[in-house]
């Protein structure tokens, strides 16, 4: 807001003119104006309390080329500070206790008021996962998915939640005020009630029904849009997000680049970056980055989801009708639920799993990533690793970074999009060991194996072992080749030195902290720093996650170096050039083998059965022609061509590295 020294009281002439224009004030000496003040731009307005008016000299433009003079018309203002070139018109009730930035438009609005002291959604408690409040956590303006992950899932760590809540409470106290704020460039029109809402720059609020106790953290980099008939209470909405078309959110945090629309309703839920919710419902949901639900019949309840696409009619049960809705489930990153899928909580679904059908047992497939979990005659059947050969899985991995809509340079969530990482590879290694143990115990000729609450067919088990082995070698080869290309060794000794990691902090288990893939030991270190009080500000906490994300490849190699030693059975210093060449050859076979599986999977989309419904009024030839016009041919499909190009490039890369190893000086 402009310096208060720039304002003066009204002259008698200005006051008389305002009164002739049907303006009234409880006390005209409490109306302060900034030069050059044009009283002609203030009409039919009632002032109470202290009000400060900026300069109104320009015109405001609207759709269709319509313009209106900046100023205040048909309104009541109470204790407001109004910036320059603002338009306030046709206020049915009043605007009270707000600081209004430059170039703001408020028209055809009902009530816009800050009533008493408010923290504007900061410090609101959200009953995430457990509807009864067992994992209740606080939200605040800068909440990342990773901080929320700690608060939700590290409840077993003494004093951690209390420490983080203390930091958030301190932040909420800093923003606590009895004066609201509407940022420059914001437009508010045709709204009902806005009560205790702090509104950032460049916000568009059009037709909202009721907004209470919240923050809209829009900015010049990426605006926020709040649309028709939206109801929001006890909320925080981050930059670049859209809430529109009858959406209802209560006790929710909405991260950057999210869209909640088309009658979507959410209560006590968290939505992190690039989530989308249309038509359906969320209750006590931890929606990690890229959680998507588009269908009216889909209910997400009491679960954590991440990079997840929920099919129509997907739902879960968190209530045994005994001790209340206390159960929750985890659907780890990259998973999908098909139409009419059902999961009984508690359950834990492994990364990149396709869930098909209805599952009535408490399933845990977390050690079998990239699997199909399929219902067959009310039983759950598992096909381990089969998603590694699915075109859909690769397509998802490609599209996620392309669909990152965030423009704000201050990214709240640190997202790792890697399909293969220490996090998923360690699961594959354990899954492979489990499958080998199952086969060994049950025998080679057994047709059906059992694991946990699932059944595994013999062919599925054998195929799972093959796929996991290929993916493990692919990851290992990718990392070794990247290391060699980065370090560019000239001699064999330089090669062995370049294989030595710069740190050992990447060793051990890795976790996915809702989008951030990191070594657990680093997260444990952060937890200890929070508990000890070493981290005393929220920005220090969020900076830790950003720094950890920036160090990913350094830490990844620390973990991969250990895997390389396991693979060769030797210490890094003792690995021979021949063994590395064998690894690269094996890597080529694995990469090409997986790509060929993707190629054949893509071919299924072009079979005769896929043409059903094409060529409406013609014969088989017309059907095929219609299909080609719509879908194109298999050979010219963009994704198919990319697979073939990937095979070519990886083959050349493998040959290049082998040649480099051959030519190293001894």
What tens digit of pLDDT does each residue of 482-523 get? 999 888 888 888 888 899 999 999 999 999 999 999 999 999
Lowest mean pLDDT among 265-269, 396-400, 472-476: 396-400
Q: What is the largest CA-CA distance in the chain?
A: 102
Tokens of 637: 């499909």
What tens digit of pLDDT does each residue of 609-624 get? 777 778 787 777 887 7
Judged against a pLDDT cut of 80, whether residue 605 lies above it is answered with: no
Check residue 237 and give left, alpha or beta (phi > 0: left; psi -120 to 50: alpha): beta
Judged against a pLDDT cut of 90, whether residue 646 lies above it is answered with: no
What tens digit of pLDDT does each residue of 555-597 get? 999 999 999 999 999 999 888 899 999 999 999 999 888 888 8
Which pLDDT does position 392 carry in this prediction? 80
Question: Whose structure tokens read 């709040």?
Answer: 226
Which pLDDT does position 616 carry in this prediction? 80
Contacts 24+ apart (CB under 8 A), 62-65: none
> What is the average pLDDT score of the chain?
93
Q: What share of the chain is helix, strand, coil (3-state, %, to 5)?
A: 35, 25, 35
Q: Distance (Å, rounded) from C-alpha 298 to C-alpha 294?
A: 8
Check residue 627 and give left, alpha or beta (phi > 0: left; psi -120 to 50: alpha): alpha
Q: Prior bond to 36 cis, omega within 30?
A: yes
Q: Distance (Å, rounded) from C-alpha 117 to C-alpha 97?
A: 10
Q: Distance (Å, rounded) from C-alpha 151 to C-alpha 145?
A: 10
What tens digit of pLDDT does each residue of 123-164 get? 999 999 998 888 999 999 999 999 999 999 999 999 999 999
Upper half-sphere CA count for residue 538 (Cβ side, 13 Å): 23
With the CA atoms of 79, 84, 89 and 91 taken in that order, what torsion angle do they form, in degrees rounded to the nearest 10? Answer: -20
Which pLDDT does position 479 carry in this prediction? 94
Judged against a pLDDT cut of 60, whether residue 1 lies above it is answered with: no
Question: What average pLDDT does this structure show over 315-329?
Answer: 80
Judged against a pLDDT cut of 70, whether residue 666 lies above it is answered with: no
Lowest mean pLDDT among 89-93, 259-263, 654-658: 654-658
With the CA atoms of 457, 460, 465 and 469 taken in that order, what torsion angle do they form, in degrees rounded to the nearest 10? Answer: -170
What tens digit of pLDDT does each residue of 83-130 get? 999 999 999 999 999 999 999 999 999 999 999 999 999 999 999 999
């Amino acid at each position: 807001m402009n310096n208060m020294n720039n304002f003066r009281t009204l002259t008698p002439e200005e006051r008389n003119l305002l009164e002739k224009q049907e303006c009234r004030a409880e006390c005209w000496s409490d109306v302060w104006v900034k030069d050059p003040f044009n009283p002609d731009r203030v009409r039919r307005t009632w002032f109470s309390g202290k009000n400060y008016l900026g300069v109104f000299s320009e015109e405001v433009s609207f759709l269709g080329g319509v313009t209106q003079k900046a100023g205040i018309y048909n309104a009541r203002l109470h204790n407001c500070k109004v910036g320059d070139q603002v338009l306030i018109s046709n206020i049915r009730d009043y605007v009270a206790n707000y600081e209004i930035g430059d170039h703001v438009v408020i028209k055809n609005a009902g009530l816009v008021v800050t009533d008493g002291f408010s923290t504007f959604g900061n410090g609101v408690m959200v009953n995430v996962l457990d509807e009864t409040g067992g994992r209740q956590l606080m939200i605040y303006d800068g909440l990342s998915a990773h901080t929320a992950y700690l608060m939700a899932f590290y409840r077993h760590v003494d004093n951690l939640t209390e420490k983080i809540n203390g930091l958030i409470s301190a932040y909420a106290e800093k923003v606590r005020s009895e004066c609201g704020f509407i940022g420059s460039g914001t437009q508010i029109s045709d709204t009902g009630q806005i009560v205790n809402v702090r509104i950032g720059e460049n916000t568009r609020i059009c037709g909202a029904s009721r907004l209470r106790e919240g923050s809209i953290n829009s900015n010049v980099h990426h605006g926020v849009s709040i649309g028709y008939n939206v109801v929001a209470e006890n909320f925080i909405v981050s930059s670049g997000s859209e809430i529109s078309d009858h959406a209802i959110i209560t006790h929710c945090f909405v991260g950057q680049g999210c869209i909640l629309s088309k009658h979507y309703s959410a209560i006590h839920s968290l939505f992190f970056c690039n989530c989308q919710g249309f038509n359906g419902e969320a209750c006590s949901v931890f929606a990690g980055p890229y959680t998507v639900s588009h269908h009216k019949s889909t209910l997400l309840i009491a679960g954590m989801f991440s990079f997840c696409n929920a099919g129509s009619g997907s739902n879960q049960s968190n209530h045994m009708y005994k001790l209340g809705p206390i159960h929750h489930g985890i659907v780890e990153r990259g998973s999908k639920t098909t139409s009419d899928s059902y999961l009984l909580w508690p359950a834990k679904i492994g990364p990149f799993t396709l869930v098909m059908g209805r599952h009535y047992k408490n399933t845990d497939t977390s050690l079998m990533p990239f699997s199909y979990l399929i219902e067959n005659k009310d039983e759950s059947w598992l096909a381990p690793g089969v998603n590694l050969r699915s075109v859909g899985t690769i397509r998802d991995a490609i599209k996620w970074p392309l669909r990152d809509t965030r423009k704000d340079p201050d990214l709240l969530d640190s997202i790792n999009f890697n399909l293969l990482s220490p996090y998923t590879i360690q699961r594959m290694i354990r899954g492979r060991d489990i499958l080998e143990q199952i086969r060994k115990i049950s025998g080679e000729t057994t047709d059906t194996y059992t694991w946990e609450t699932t059944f595994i067919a013999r062919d599925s088990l054998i195929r799972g072992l093959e796929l996991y082995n290929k993916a493990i070698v692919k990851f290992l080869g990718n990392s070794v080749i990247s290391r060699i290309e980065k370090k560019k060794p000239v001699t064999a000794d330089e090669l062995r030195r370049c294989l030595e990691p710069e740190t050992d902090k990447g060793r051990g288990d890795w976790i996915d902290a809702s989008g951030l893939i990191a070594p657990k030991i680093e997260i444990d270190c952060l937890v200890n720093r929070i508990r000890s009080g070493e981290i005393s500000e929220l920005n220090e906490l969020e900076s830790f996650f950003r720094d950890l994300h920036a160090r990913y490849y350094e830490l990844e190699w620390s973990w991969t170096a250990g895997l390389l030693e396991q693979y060769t059975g030797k210490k890094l210093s003792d690995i021979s050039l021949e063994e590395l060449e064998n690894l690269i050859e094996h890597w080529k076979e694995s990469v090409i083998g997986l790509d060929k599986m993707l190629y054949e999977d893509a071919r299924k989309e072009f079979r005769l059965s896929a043409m059903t419904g094409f060529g409406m009024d013609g014969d088989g030839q017309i059907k095929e022609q219609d299909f080609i016009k719509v879908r194109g041919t298999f050979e010219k499909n963009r994704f198919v061509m990319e697979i073939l190009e990937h095979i070519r490039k990886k083959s050349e890369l493998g040959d290049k590295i082998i040649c480099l190893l051959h030519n190293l000086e001894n």
